Structure 1
Amino acid sequence: MSKPPSANEGVFLAPNTLYMPVRLSGLDKISVFNDREEPGNFYRVILVWGGEGLLYVNDVPHELSRGSVFLCDAMPRLRSDPQSALRGIQIEYRILTADGSKPRGLEHPVPLKRCASGILRLAAELESAWKAPQPGDPVRTQQLFIEWLAELINEMNVRQRPADSWLGQVLHYMETHFNKELTRERMAEYANVSPEHFSRIFRRHTGRTFSAHLTLLRIRRSAVLVL
């Protein structure tokens, strides 16, 4: 199957720029990261892989749950609700540019919800590598951080693409290949989006899950063929 072009505009990792994680901790220590007197080129990430609760950004509450990611620079004052049962990781990273220009980190005014499972998996691997560094692999943490950052940027770029740019192609393909082996994962790859994002947008626009829509389509097409 041919794929539509992926989004090349929007968020990206700048060339000749170094992204370095400098602090990682659990979500029970969110306020500790508020102590940066000179924010400079520092940025923060809050990622949730379990539980539900509130994150206060300059005293404004935001609901978080599994798959939520909040991105900001070091300026906002962050704190979590003591009653929350959020599980995840917070990361502070620094950006250095080769030419000394002002770097641009990842920021988003509200938390991203239901991010792809690959982002959560890489974050968990990053936490493990940070807590137990391997002397024989000194760049493992940096490598995992860049892989995770690239996955997150791809997720943000996918969300910027209008659903109309790929959903119509998917529905047409299903209409013309309904008798083939079609799966959510295969069609998500065709659309160049994550399976989670695919399911969410597909149901929002069609009113049905992918499996239900495919079953109904096959029933209708079979009835037409019988006639």
Structure 2
Amino acid sequence: MTHSPSAPSPTSHAPHPFAIPLRIAGLTEYAESGCAVPVPGRSQLLIVWGGKGNVHLYEQPHPAARGFALLGRSSSQAIGLNPADSLQGVHIEFAHYPLGSAADQEFDPEFEKLSPCSTVCMRLAAELYAAWKEQPSEAEPYRAQLLFSRLMSELHQELATARDASDDWLSQAVQFIEANYNEDLTREQLAERANVSPEHFSRAFRKHTGRTFIDYLTMLRIRNAQSRILVENTAMNALAPQVGFKEGLYLSRKFKDVVGMSPTAFRRKPKRIAALNLNHTGILLALGQTPELGVYTSWLEQNKAHAKPGVSLNPYGHTSSTLYEAVAEANPDMIIHYSTAAENRSLLPLAPVIELPFRTMSWREQLLTIAGMLDKLQEAQQWLARYDEQVDRINRALDERLGRRGTAIVWEIAGDKAYACSGSYGRGAHILYGDLGFRPPERDWLSHGYVETKVEELYSHKADHIFITGTPSCPESRPYLQRLLRSSQWSGLEAVRGKRLHWLHDSILFCGYDPLSTQAQLNLLARRLLPDHKFA
């Protein structure tokens, strides 16, 4: 029997990739088994559908929660889990056919993270795990294989979308909408810009954002309306064209559809607030309001002790998806953060994000801005008046003791480096330079916001007064400081010889750039500069 040249021979490899599941385990079972290194040539897939914890890969922890997925191939690395964590999900070890072929290299690159994966993937993974634990039924003997194939297909589609999302036409469309939400935008206009059909635009946009084009545009407009109502308290007819509506009555109606209440009711209601950085949390506490979600140092935690309880957020311990979940759990009416934060846009579906400038707005201006949004402007002005009275008393005492203030530096030590900050970064410099009349060592020395130098070279930066916020907490950092203190260059500085070297011994306190931290920093600086004064 002969075969035509175009027909594949019975022994030729199929041009399509196939994958076969070999081991499937729940995450608790997988963690308790010791997370064994996979057989060479096999691939791994991990999907989380519940709980929170860390997934370890190449000895690095990756925060994981619902929607976390990891796919890849390594003959030397297991995906590590801590049995004490509460992660719920599945770990799958599988092989491609033909083994070691170019197909498995193309379709399964070395570890790729998808976070979040869709509910479809999580549902298929859960069904596959349940089917794997059961005996195959006579009616559906290939059910596990079918579910695995569907899971892999869906997962690879989502990975392909995620790879292209940062620079494809969808991202450009979203950026255009966000920059021009107050214009008369249509689906057809945006589809034409992207050179796709309106129908394809609608389908792809919804998959990319989770919302229809109209819903997304309306959400942006209403969130911006909420922000302006809070910050500026603009009348509806004046506000409507600023956010993309033709008149105030229609804006009010859409506002109530999205927010669940009228603009007036929203402006007046007590706000549940998520403050996503240390300084804005401190401002709220100074105004007598504990945020539902806030960022705290140990010092700020003490000042929260007598207020109503609020949830503490570690901003460095989250992925974008777990941060979203943490903020969603707080159910905020408004979110406050710095305008430079990359995550602000992704949080807009939850609440309006009030973005305050970083470095260009002083702590006083931030206090008054936030107070105005909460109808607490009088409380903020009274707080500042009391603070300024204290500054005046300290300045009169400094006039008697020092006369002309001279220059000052505040150093913060981290590792083998030391950092001196301008007033816009806080660290007590805003008090020394802004309130107490000291000057930086040189006119343009802090023009970039801070100066970095080696700890052992601090002696090269001379000032009349030198402040060090605290000794390094890390033992590896202390030898650098010890070598500095033993050096003749350091002991020869006029500030050191004249006993104008001030150890503040509270680096955590000096991280704050908020009213409460600032007042405590002022008190400590006064005690160092005026040790024998009655109010120091």
Q: TM-score by structure 2 length?
A: 0.32
Cα distance in 2 for partners of 1:119, 1:67 equals 9
Where does structure 1 lack aligned partners over 5 or more consecutive residues? 1-13, 179-186, 203-207
Q: Which amino acid aligns with 2:46?
A: I
1:139 is aligned to: 142
User: Which of 190, 193, 212 is the aligned partner of 2:219?
Assistant: 212
Unpaired stretches in structure 2, ≥5 consecutive residues: 1-13, 189-198, 226-239, 251-536
- 1:205 maps to none
For residues 43-192 of structure 1, the aligned pairs below 5 Å read 43-75=43-75, 76-97=77-98, 101-102=101-102, 103-104=104-105, 106-107=108-109, 109=111, 111-132=113-134, 133-161=136-164, 162=166, 165-169=169-173, 171=177, 175-176=185-186, 190-192=202-204
Paired residue type of 2:49: W
**Quick one: structure 1 residues 188 and 86, their matched pair in 2 at CA, closer, same or farther if it must change by over 3 Å?**
farther
Give the superposition deviation at 1:191.
4.7
Is the 8 Å Cα contact of residues 70 and 108 (structure 1) preserved in structure 2? no
**Which letter does structure 1 place at the counterpart of 2:186?**
T
Contact 2:26–2:129 (Cα < 8 Å) also in 1: no
List per-residue Cα deviations over 1:71-105 (Å, max 9, x = no partner): 2224213321232100000001111128x735325
Q: Does 1:19 align with 2:19?
A: yes
SS at match of 1:175: coil
* Matching residue of 1:5: none
TM-score (norm 1): 0.69
How far has the Cα of 1:214 moved from its partner? 5.3
What is the SS of the residue equivalent to 1:111?
strand
Q: Alpha-carbon deviation of 1:46?
A: 0.9
Find the counterpart in structure 1 of residue 209 from structure 2.
Answer: 198
Measure the CA separation in 2 of the matches of 1:211 and 1:25.
44
Amino acid at match of 2:94: Y
Matched residue type, 1:34: A
Provide runs of 4+ in structure 1 moved above 4 Å: 167-170, 208-211, 214-219
Residue 175 of structure 1: how far off its partner (Å): 1.5
Identity %: 27
Q: CA deviation at 1:163?
A: 5.3
Contact 1:16 1:97 in 2 (8 A): no
Relative contact order (C-alpha < 8 Å, sep 6+): which is higher? 1
**Structure 1: how far apart are the matches of 2:68 and 2:203?**
23
- Measured on the aligned residues, the alpha-carbon RMSD in Å equals 3.8
How many residues end up aligned between the 2 structures? 195
Deviation at 1:223, TM superposition (A): 2.6
Larger radius of gyration: 2
Could you say what secondary structure the match of 1:146 adopts? helix
Alignment check: 8 A CA contact 2:45 2:93 kept: yes
The residue correspondences of 1:216-227 to structure 2 (distance < 5 A) are: 220-223=244-247
| Bigger strand share | 1
C-alpha distance 168-58 of structure 1, shift in aligned 2 (>3 A): closer
